[in-house]
Structure 1
Amino acid sequence: MLNEKQPSGTKSTVDADLENIPVEQVLAQLGVQVERGLSSSEAQQRLAQYGPNALVEKEESLASKILGHFMGPIAYMIEAAALVSALIGHWDDFAIIGFLLLFNVGLEMWQDRKATNALAELKKGLALEATAMRDGKWQTVTATTLVPGDIVKIRLGMIVPADVRMVSGDYASIDQAALTGESLPVTKKVGDEAYSGSVVKQGEMTCVVIGTGSNTFFGRTAKLVAGAGAVSHAQMAMFQIGNFLIIIAVVLALIMVAVRVYHDIVVANDWGINDALSILQFVLVLLVASIPVAMPTVFSMTMALGALSLSKEQAIVSKLSAIEEMAGVNILCSDKTGTLTKNQLSLAEPILIAGHDAQECILTAALASNIEDRDAIDTAVISALKNQDILNNWNKLKFVPFDPVTKRTAAKVTDPAGKSFIVTKGAPQAIVDLAKPSAEVAQKVTDTVAALAAKGSRALGVARSEDDGVTWSLLGILPMFDPPRDDSKLTIENAREKGVQVKMITGDDTAIAIETARQLGMGTNIIAAADAFPKDMDPNNVPTEILDLIERADGFARVFPEHKYAIVKALQSRGHLVAMTGDGVNDAPALKQADCGTAVSGATDAARGAAALILTAPGLSVINSAIDEARRIFGRITSYTIYRVALTMDIMFLVVLSTIFLGFTPLTPIMIVAMSLLDDVPIMAIAYDNTSVSEKPIRWKMPRLLSVSAVLGLFSIVESFGLLLIGMEVLSDPMEQAYFGLTTQAQLQSLVFLQLVAGGHLLLFVTRTERWFFQRPFPAAPLFLAILFTQILAVLMCSFGWLVEPISWTLIGWIWAYNLVWMLLLGLVRRMTERFVDFRTVRHIKSLDMLNRPI
């Protein structure tokens, strides 16, 4: 335990494996006597050497947290856009961009504050005080001052204050489910180890501390939590999309500047400072228009509304990006105890040996139980009685709690008639040894226990003595199991239909895991992680053969926290998006590392703090709702992204091409700013849109998305440039000028402005669904009304001359007719492009399969 790296400035003097060597050698290595303990001076010296028995966390200042939200590629682009707007004096534009930036940062900070810090919650699980032998006498000390070599005492109700080895005492029953996932308390005797943070349920023992702080089992879990975490795919997508648009904008801006400068200097031989400032101003405004300032806000609002929807399904989102990640999840690693099962031991029909009635056998076991101890086995036995009130008719004279040596409980009772006898229950072999039945009966018990173990059930032997323990009658065997939840099988089937594979992860034995998996209709290729994974395996660098094993497995039994973390990391390294469910401290590292960590109902604070999704209702059924909602959200974000990239390309190419080839500036700076507002601000209503649910996991496929966006953008450029050429043709014909009311270049700019605003929103109807835009699902009312309002505003601007030159209603009508025709064409273009891209992808995969197929 102490051969791990010590805190800076300290050095360990103990290199032995204190977890496994005999306890006498542990005491010798640590230089301590059980009767005396450490002296105060020695404890202080070791405290300086090994550090406090606490989890050390680097605190981040509030200023650093706030500053962090203003950093990153997209944030830098938005800030640059605001700065450019201020430099050229466009304060309205500066105000809008600044508002979008602050709104997005505020939303992220609110989410961060709502999410509980996982390490802080882990600290709450540590014992606050401990009983230690110092200077030859027992003292109550602060748990943080414990050091390796301290002699401590643990008893009923206490939290184990550090990793310890038992040195004296009868036994202790310790609940370490939150650490290891075992569903029942574990009985510890002299020589056994107990972990920091586990809870003593029965007994009292004296122990020696072998590990403190971050060198405990608990501390290693906390270090895994601190180092865990996956980068959001939505963030990476935003960076790639932003970079794509910026590169295009910069290249086009450079081309336009070069052409304008060449024309003014070489061709016109007329160049001045005002010309330079004019070019710079227009280029900066064009760059501002190209930056997707609203993209982070649209993403955040879409996911925030999804979080609100999930809250109605009794699922609380503590990390917004997890919603988007859930859409692409193709593997769900689920904890067994309490998630797939009820975490309530139940009795099956007793297997009678000498008994004649099942309820009589259960009654005998119940009399050998003590309900006040709240022991899981005792509770299950008593609950199996059809009439629990019958226990009131019996008088319990003496009760002997579970003894790890005899492996049974016992009680002396008197029946309603006053006759006394002794009852006992415990490990079947212990009961056989006590009752000494015939060889045939003993073999029957052995076979029965083996058969039950193969089905994942525990066995409990029951016996009774009517002559004060001289002879015993073995009444029968009680099968005990943790039954699956009623909705678990259906949930797993539904997840499988959605393309999500469910892998079970449990700290229980392999046989129990296999039987549970069989009952739930899951695969039964269950791997015993404690045997299959090397003890010293680095969870961040899993060997290839172990990776293959993890990927093929249907589930894992006998797992520890580092196993769960390693399983998630391994699956992620193979390209899988992984959701992980859990409820204990032992699950926290894996929950934080997973793409969508999910804390189930009744989870510990540490698990909730590490998770991105917190379920408040029992079971996993809400997971399917979360997957559906995530895929709807992903569809909304994808449709917005395609729309934004295509429209940005349309604006930038139209401005540059018309400036270079026609010598005409189609938009004024104020038009570009107004268009950005009319396009982006109302488009946030896409967060409310109706979207179909994908049948399979969906991810960010940037080549496909950018290909579709680029093709739609190309045809949109043709649409806009074509109308511009038609407008120029009208300007050259007096008769057409009179009919359309188009007489000046300023009105031509208004024509282009209205076409881009109207065509842009009609383009959104094309991008919002992979089907034809006139098929279901239809646009949601908020989105439709937001677009309708902006279109009416744009028409009124062009009709009454608000910020633009006024144009006739006849021309407005023709612009709309032109856009509607192109809307049909763009719908066809999208469908054909996606079919081509998808066909090439499928054909490529088939070609690779054919090449790799053995001859």
Structure 2
Amino acid sequence: MNTTDKTAATQQGGTDLESMPVDGVLKQLQVDPAKGLSAAEVEKRLKQYGPNALPEKHVSLARKILKYFTGPIAFMIEAAALVSAFLGRWDDFIIIFGLLVFNASLELWQDMKASNALAALKKSLAPHATALRDGALKTIDAATLVPGDMVRIRLGEIVPADLRLVSGDYASIDQAALTGESLPVAKKPGDEAYSGSVVKQGEMDAVVIATGANTFFGRTAKLVAGAGAVSHAQRAMFQIGNFLIAVAVVLALIMVAVQVWRDIVVAENWGLADALDILQFVLILLVASIPVAMPAVFSITMALGALALSKEKAIVSRLASIEEMAGVDILCSDKTGTLTKNQLSLGDPILLEATDPQDVVLAAAIASERENADVIDTAVLAALKNPVARDAYHVTKFTPFDPVSKRTMAEATDEKGAALSVAKGAPQAIVDLAKPAKDIADKVEQSVADLGKRGYRALGVARSTDGGKSWKLLGILPMFDPPRDDSEATIEKVRAKGVSVKMVTGDDTAIARETARQLGLGTNIIPAAEAFPKDMDPDNVPAKIADSIEKADGFARVFPEHKYAIVKALQQRGHLVAMTGDGVNDAPALKQADCGTAVSGATDAARGAAALILTAPGLSVIDNAIDEARRIFGRITSYTIYRVALTMDIMFLVVLSTIFLGFQPLTAIMIVIMSLLDDVPIMTIAYDNTAVSKNPIRWRMPRLLSVSAVLGFGSIVQSFGLLLIGFAVLDHAGASAWFGITSKEHLQSVMFLQLVAGGHLLLLVTRTHRWFFEPPFPSRQLAIAIVCTQALAVLMCGFGWIVPQISWTVIFWVWVYLLAWLVILGAVRVGMERLIDNRLDRRARLAEIVNAPLHQHGHLHGG
């Protein structure tokens, strides 16, 4: 392998350049740190490695749009539209095609929202960089950086690529958005700096070791681009569509076979007109069988639910996440800023050579900057009980923190002109400076160890009054990011809803364990770097690791691929996972999770990847979101059962009446109008009063289709029974004259009224597991929509608008018939629910017996 090829391999893999000595890195990348690369060499390497930018995969708009017109339901809608056009039924065609375009528009809008994650990540990359080219420092486009470029990073700048720091005193770099660490990290020569992190203090020179997709940031973006799963709502629609299509195809074949047999064998007459008649029957069945409005009803119902969630301080960016949140059984929560306040606070000082705790705090405050205060300085200054006391000291010299001495120092004079020196920093660094007696040094070591076990950081403080010749080690300041006041209570509420909570953080294990203990999460915290092999495929987590992930209470020292792997492993075990986060490092896991949730103050990348965006801090919003999501899911389930049962009713009525009675009970336009009257007002189901489930709820298709099928069968009996009664009235001259049903067209209006009115009465049965006359009662919006629709259907039939006119007497008796069947179908629904629940209870008890230890079955053996 030649040098150039080897450089490419190390830049692609990154391992050697990340760990080898800096001199070796410079030699490997063939660069002189005093001159940098030449323009010719940069051009050569740009062709080899490509630009320092995230790769984009372009998909044409036409291809995107075409995707929205594919799928089982879309194909059936298109078939119905084509048949309508072929037969010249342009009113049917316009309505059906309009629904198809509306559904596709909703999906296009959702896809455009989903692409925001990658766009936000790209915005986070540095637009410019200061690079050494041909011996001179130049400001260049960061996209032109190549491995081997020498760059300079300064205060306030975004690190433009993955770097190894070569020279300079030190730099403090905030990489929290990438790694989740709650404090900026002090860097020294030889350390690595990640692309996308921010320089908070200092200035250093560095060499570029990775660019574009090969950077730490680029690998995160690649995970985001590959993350995501088809929502359970989409799968449910596919399954429901496939079920209805299968039933429709079988019924269509039966109907066509019977009609062809009648025309050819019985009537011995076959022509184009007969073929068109059969095609017309198939059209009616297609229009009847396809829940054309189902995708729109799902989307609009969830959109109205999203509006309700926005009032709970949760913004929905992916509608399907509402339905996913209802079934979530594991919540992986970010620690910093979500479970904790994301602000360091000082505990009670541990006194060593000081007698007053505030003396220790005051000395530390003098050694802190007010103007460019970092989080530690802010915490120290906030801990002063008397802030004015700090004003009595005039700082004459300040030495900022650097990773070599690991301390800050200040020289000051008090209001009387007396000089003093103060220092604060890592306890061992302060011990080395003060050189205290052995018993004090031992106490420092023991105190730091004890604080570390409890998850506290420690800050040593010393003071000198003789110009730094001798120092007093005043004490140790414990520092901790405290839990939010509402976190523990919220976790308990979420757990009571059947949702397990796991903490995920980039902080050290001891800090994570102490935070988890205070929140009552448990202390089984796994250090991710130890649990996950470095070369592990995050999409295929080994079973042993997946077992430990399921059992863990939380994870520490995690990187983006770890968070992603945690979510993916839990999903592969059958869990629905919600993930909260706020940084770039959280974006892959947020996008992969069933309900990725960006917390208050999250980065653009996190918001773009998330399905739910919280606008209020803490987890309490999640608790409210779960309740609202379960209400919304209950409404969607109610609609689904109603729609499947009603669709079966219409399909079987058309086929059975065609085969056995030779009668077309509905015209195509009746079916289209009926679909609109049944579906459009039902969108107000988004406002319905729904009981909140105590446990996570999911799409259980066998149960849902079983209940739908039984209610559908009952509805078929109801509709076909009324049709038979109608035929009996037609055959009886006296009854026919009294009711005013003198033709089969009148009978079609009767069936139209029965299906519209009966459909909405069926919704009263499907919207609750209990009797329809028990609470929760329908909401005002839903009740008004149903009453208005019923009134419109009655007026259409009573005055002959669009459909043949029938008498008010007939309308009255149809309603009496429907109300009687409402009670019958209500009894069927309650009976089905009790039967299913009893079977589930028996299975649960059997599972408990099978899984119980053998000694618990001693009574079976006479023990």
TM-score by length of 2: 0.95
Matched AA of 2:677: L
Q: Could you tell me how far 1:735 is from its partner in structure 2?
A: 4.1
- Distance in 2 of aligned mates of 1:123 and 1:673: 47
**Does 2:219 align with 1:220?**
yes
- Residues in 1 aligned to 2:662 and 2:141: alpha-carbon distance in whole angstroms: 81
- Equivalent residue, structure 1, for 2:678: 679
C-alpha separation in 2, matches of 1:145 and 1:605: 24
Residue 602 of structure 2 aligns to a residue whose secondary structure is coil
Alignment-mate amino acid for residue 301 of structure 2: T
Deviation string 1:465-493 (CA, Å, 9 cap, x unpaired) is 11111111111110100011111112111
The equivalent of 1:715 in structure 2 is: 714
Offset of residue 566 of structure 1: 0.5
Aligned to 1:83: 82
Which aligned pairs between 1:218-297 and structure 2 lie closer than 5 A?
Answer: 218-297=217-296
Q: 1:646 — aligned with what? A: 645
**Cα distance in 1, alignment partners of residues 460 and 9 from structure 2:** 53
Cα separation, 1, equivalents of 2:501 and 2:274: 65
Shift of 1:620: 1.6
Counterpart-to-counterpart distance in 2, 1:367 and 1:785: 69
1:423 pairs with 2:444: no
> CA distance change for structure 1 residues 10 and 210 in 2, over 3 Å: closer, same or farther?
closer
Q: Which residue of 2 aligns with 1:63?
A: 62
CA distance in 2 between partners of 1:498 and 1:433 (Å): 53
Which of 156-165 and 106-115 deviates more?
Answer: 106-115
Contact 1:153 1:206 (C-alpha < 8 Å) held by counterparts: yes
Paired amino acid for 1:129: H
> Do the aligned partners of 1:129 and 1:143 also contact (CA within 8 Å) in 2?
yes
What is residue 211 of structure 1 aligned with on the other side?
A: 210
Question: What is the DSSP-based 3-state SS (H/G/I as helix, E as strand, rest coil) of the residue aligned with 1:24?
Answer: helix
1:570 pairs with 2:587: no
Give the CA deviation at 1:637: 1.0
Query: Per-residue displacement from partner, 1:763-793 (whole Å, max 9, x unpaired)?
Result: 0111111121111221122222222122122
Residues 854 and 348 of structure 1, relative CA distance in 2, 3 Å threshold: closer
**1:584-623 equivalences in 2 (<5 Å):** 584-623=583-622
Deviation at residue 446 of structure 1 after TM alignment? 1.3
Tell me how far apart the structure 2 counterparts of residues 612 and 88 of structure 1 sit (CA, whole Å). Answer: 44
8 A contact 1:345–1:376 mirrored in 2: yes
Gaps of 5+ in 1: none
Deviations 1:683-721 (A, max 9, x none): 222222222211111111111000000000011111111
Cα deviation 1:516-564 (Å, max 9, x = unaligned): 1111111211100011110111101111111101111111000001000
Relative to structure 1, the CA distance from residue 327 to residue 790 in structure 2 (aligned partners, 3 Å threshold; closer, same or farther) is: same
Letter in structure 2 aligned against 1:318: S
Q: Which aligned pairs between 1:167-566 and structure 2 lie closer than 5 A?
A: 167-566=166-565
Of 755-764 and 103-112, deviating more is 103-112
Check conservation: 2:92, 2:668, Cα contact below 8 A.
Answer: no
Take 2:400 and 2:665, find their aligned partners in 1: how far apart are those partners?
Answer: 90
Does residue 137 of structure 2 align to residue 138 of structure 1? yes
Consecutive unaligned residues in structure 2, runs of 5 or more = 855-863
Q: Could you tell me whether the CA contact under 8 Å between 1:116 and 1:608 is conserved in 2?
A: no
* Offset of residue 131 of structure 1: 2.0
Post-superposition offset of 1:4:
14
Relative to structure 1, is the Cα distance of residues 361 and 373 closer, same or farther in structure 2, using a 3 angstrom cutoff?
Answer: same
Q: Which residue of 1 aligns with 2:692?
A: 693
Following superposition, the deviation at residue 757 of structure 1 comes to 1.7
Q: Which amino acid aligns with 2:306?
A: A
Could you say if the C-alpha distance between residues 674 and 140 of structure 1 is closer, same or farther in structure 2, counting changes exceeding 3 Å?
A: closer
The answer (yes or no) to whether the contact 1:298–1:687 under 8 Å persists in 2 is no
Matched residue of 1:822: which SS?
A: helix
- Give the letter for the 1:812 counterpart: I
Q: Aligned equivalents of 1:616 and 1:670: distance in 2?
A: 47
- CA distance in 2 between counterparts of 1:497 and 1:41 reads 65
Residue 853 of structure 1: CA displacement? 5.8
**Alpha-carbon distance between aligned partners in 1 of 2:720 and 2:286, rounded to the nearest angstrom:** 20
Partner of 2:743: 744
Tell me by how many angstroms 1:354 deviates: 1.1
Partner of 2:16: 17
Looking at structure 2, the residues matched to 6 and 271 of structure 1 have their Cα atoms a distance apart, in angstroms, of 78
Alpha-carbon distance in 2 for matches of 1:479, 1:724 = 82
> Which shows bigger deviation, 153-162 or 584-593?
153-162
In 1, Cα distance between the equivalents of 2:12 and 2:837? 63
2:261 and 2:764 map into 1 onto residues whose CA distance is 41
Structure 1 position 778 matched with structure 2 position 782: no
Provide the C-alpha distance between the structure 1 equivalents of 2:516 and 2:692, rounded to a whole number of angstroms: 28
Q: Which moved more, 1:135-144 or 1:192-201?
A: 135-144
CA deviations 1:43-90 (Å, max 9, x no partner) are 221111111111111133333333333333322222222222222222
Indicate conservation of the 8 Å contact 2:653/2:719, yes or no: yes
Quick one: which amino acid aligns to residue 83 of structure 2?
V
Letter in 2 for 1:207: A
Indicate if the aligned counterparts of 1:156 and 1:202 stay in contact, CA closer than 8 A: yes
Seen in structure 2, the aligned counterparts of structure 1 residues 6 and 52 have a Cα distance that, compared at 3 Å, is farther
Q: What do residues 565-584 of structure 1 show as CA deviations (whole Å, max 9, x unaligned)?
A: 11111111111111111111
Aligned partners of 1:468, 1:10: CA distance in 2, in Å? Answer: 55
1:389 Cα shift?
2.5
The one-letter code sitting in structure 2 at the alignment partner of 1:558 is R
User: Match of 1:373, SS?
Assistant: coil
CA contact (8 A) 1:175 1:185 kept: yes
Please give the alpha-carbon distance, in whole angstroms, between the structure 2 residues aligned to 1:493 and 1:228: 30
- Provide the rounded CA distance (Å) in 1 between the counterparts of 2:511 and 2:9: 45
C-alpha RMSD of matched pairs (Å): 2.2
1:796-835 mapped onto 2 (5 Å cutoff) = 796-835=795-834
The residue that corresponds to 1:793 in the other structure is 792
Q: CA deviation at 1:24?
A: 1.8
C-alpha displacement at 1:847, in angstroms?
Answer: 4.0
| Residues 663, 3 of structure 1: alpha-carbon distance in 2 compared, 3 angstrom cutoff | farther
**Equivalent-residue separation in structure 2 for 1:3 and 1:479 (angstroms):** 51
Higher mean alpha-carbon deviation, 627-636 vs 675-684, is at 675-684
State how far apart, in whole Å, the 1-side matches of 2:12 and 2:312 are: 55
The 8 Å contact of residues 85 and 285 in structure 1, kept in 2 or not, is answered as: no
| Counterpart-to-counterpart distance in 2, 1:12 and 1:219 | 13
Q: Give the distance between the partners of 2:545 and 2:4, measured in 1 at CA.
A: 24
Amino acid at match of 2:795: L
SS, match of residue 341 in structure 2: coil
Paired with 2:495 and 2:9, the residues of 1 have a C-alpha distance of: 52
**CA 1:54–1:674 in 2, change beyond 3 Å: closer, same or farther?**
closer
2:861 counterpart residue number: none
> Which is further off, 162-171 or 415-424?
162-171
Secondary structure at the aligned position of 2:224 is classed as helix
For residues 5 and 281 of structure 1, do their structure 2 counterparts lie closer, same or farther at Cα, with a shift above 3 Å needed?
farther
Matches of 1:316 and 1:806, distance apart in 2: 49
| CA–CA distance in structure 2, aligned partners of residues 192 and 851 of structure 1 | 56
User: For residues 413 and 488 of structure 1, do their structure 2 counterparts lie closer, same or farther at Cα, with a shift above 3 Å needed?
Assistant: same
Q: Secondary structure at the match of 1:19?
A: helix
Superposed displacement of residue 14, structure 1: 9.0
Residues 737-746 or 345-354, more deviating: 737-746
Letter in 2 for 1:673: V
Is the CA contact (8 Å cut-off) linking 1:10 and 1:50 kept in structure 2?
no
Determine if contact 2:14/2:210 at 8 Å carries over to the other structure: no
Matched to 2:691, the amino acid is S
